[in-house]
């Protein structure tokens, strides 16, 4: 590991000031960053420890929750209100990593974890995300886990987070503090970016901009998170889906769908939402929505199977969620 200077800060202002230093990084739980530093893939010269900032509370607001960025993934998943009102989020958190990792990983940090593309980790291989301009050995390589949506000729990596998929499906907002002072609110689905020709940039945050809270709004009536993976525990998603909606007189209202494991960011399935919004559930409608969303999906060879798998996951999840509703009625 390369040498770095370490500081622990007492408030947001000190945090963003310290992070203005050359090649500085915030340190939360460190479960991803410390690992990448051991591999010397991340080489920060300054680490600003924000894990003890006073952002460890989950506050109830008028319509939802305001979650401190330092709340651990395990605390958030076990929170009674989250379990009752936002089961999508609790399930997504619990389906990621292990209890040891969830006990350290934070709400803010989870968003900012980096891809698990094996070419990003293998410093002997070309990776535009790790070394801009070096090429991408995943294209034409072993790419079973890679993107089918929104990829570029420079990068086909996927974002690994389960939590972020749930946050996008729930329409959460991230609150940040800016290095020059002031705050801003970023919708969860606008936080991450597609690779384009700058795949080394994962998200929209400025250097030194700190996520302090995540806000959840009114809980949707129906929620589900489903994850398809190669083993039943402790594995990243091959594909996953988060779905949230209300039903008004048997019609979808405010439906939001997000996919995991398919793109450089948690993928908001806006085209599928458009097909479904305001309509009455039916299998034909679910298939139409899936086809609309996946119209531009493109496999890389090893991961071609993800396209039909994702299609079936969309249809099966919507069917399960709405058939339970039929039974209740």
* Alpha-carbon gap, residue 146 to 300, rounded angstroms: 8
CA distances from 40 to 28, 202, 229, 251 (A): 18, 18, 28, 52
Question: Residues binding another protein: what is the number (CB under 8 A)?
Answer: 33
Q: Which of 43, 103, 229, 319 binds another protein (CB under 8 A)?
A: 103
Q: Which of 14, 17, 34, 81 binds another protein (CB under 8 A)?
A: 34
Q: Is 287 in the site for another protein (CB under 8 A)?
A: no
Nearer to another protein, 234 or 305 (CB): 234
Q: Which of 97, 168, 257, 314 binds another protein (CB under 8 A)?
A: 97
Q: Which of residues 6-25 bind another protein (CB under 8 A)?
A: 6, 8
Nearer to another protein, 30 or 299 (CB): 30
* Alpha-carbon gap, residue 141 to 158, rounded angstroms: 15
Q: Is 77 in the site for another protein (CB under 8 A)?
A: yes
Q: Is 95 in the site for another protein (CB under 8 A)?
A: yes
Q: Work out how close the CB of 119 gets to another protein at its nearest, in angstroms, rounded to a whole number.
A: 17
* Alpha-carbon gap, residue 191 to 208, rounded angstroms: 15
Q: Which of 15, 18, 31, 262 binds another protein (CB under 8 A)?
A: 31
Q: Which of 22, 124, 180, 233 binds another protein (CB under 8 A)?
A: 233
Q: Is 184 in the site for another protein (CB under 8 A)?
A: no
* Alpha-carbon gap, residue 320 to 266, rounded angstroms: 22
Nearer to another protein, 95 or 176 (CB): 95
Q: Which of residues 49-68 bind another protein (CB under 8 A)?
A: 49, 51
Q: Is 198 in the site for another protein (CB under 8 A)?
A: no
Q: Work out how close the CB of 31 gets to another protein at its nearest, in angstroms, rounded to a whole number.
A: 5
* Residue 30: other Cβ atoms inside 10 A: 17
Phi, psi of 226 (to 5 degrees): -130, 140
Q: Is 90 in the site for another protein (CB under 8 A)?
A: yes
- The residues that touch another protein, with contacts defined as CB under 8 A, are 1, 3-6, 8, 27, 30-31, 34-35, 38, 47, 49, 51, 74, 77-78, 83, 90-91, 94-95, 97-101, 103-104, 232-234
């Amino acid at each position: 590991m390369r040498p770095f200077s370490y500081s622990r800060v007492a408030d947001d202002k000190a945090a963003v000031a310290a992070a203005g230093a050359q090649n500085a990084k915030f340190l939360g739980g460190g479960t991803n960053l410390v690992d990448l530093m051991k591999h010397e893939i991340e080489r920060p010269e300054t680490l600003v420890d924000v894990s003890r900032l006073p952002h460890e509370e989950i506050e109830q607001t008028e319509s939802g929750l305001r979650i401190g960025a330092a709340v651990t993934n395990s605390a958030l998943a076990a929170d009674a209100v989250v379990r009752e009102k936002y089961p999508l989020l609790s399930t997504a958190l619990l389906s990621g990593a292990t209890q040891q990792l969830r006990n350290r990983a934070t709400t803010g940090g989870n968003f900012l974890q980096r891809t698990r593309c094996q070419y990003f980790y293998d410093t002997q291989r070309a990776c535009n995300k790790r070394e801009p301009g070096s090429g991408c050995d995943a294209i034409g390589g072993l790419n079973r886990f890679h993107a089918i949506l929104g990829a570029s000729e420079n990068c086909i990596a996927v974002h690994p987070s389960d939590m972020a998929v749930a946050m996008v499906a729930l329409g959460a907002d991230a609150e940040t503090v800016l290095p020059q002072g002031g705050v801003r609110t970023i919708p969860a689905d606008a936080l991450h970016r597609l690779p384009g020709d700058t795949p080394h940039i994962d998200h929209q945050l400025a250097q030194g901009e700190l996520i302090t809270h995540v806000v959840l709004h009114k809980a949707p009536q129906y929620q589900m998170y489903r994850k398809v993976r190669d083993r039943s525990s402790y594995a990243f998603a091959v594909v996953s889906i988060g779905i949230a909606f209300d039903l008004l007189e048997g019609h979808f209202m405010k439906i939001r769908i997000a996919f995991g494991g398919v793109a450089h960011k948690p993928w908001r399935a806006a085209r599928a939402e458009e097909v479904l919004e305001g309509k009455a559930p039916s299998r034909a409608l679910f298939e139409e929505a899936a086809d609309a969303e996946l119209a531009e999906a493109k496999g890389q060879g090893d991961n071609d199977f993800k396209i039909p798998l994702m299609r079936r996951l969309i249809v099966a999840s919507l069917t399960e969620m709405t058939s339970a509703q039929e039974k209740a009625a």
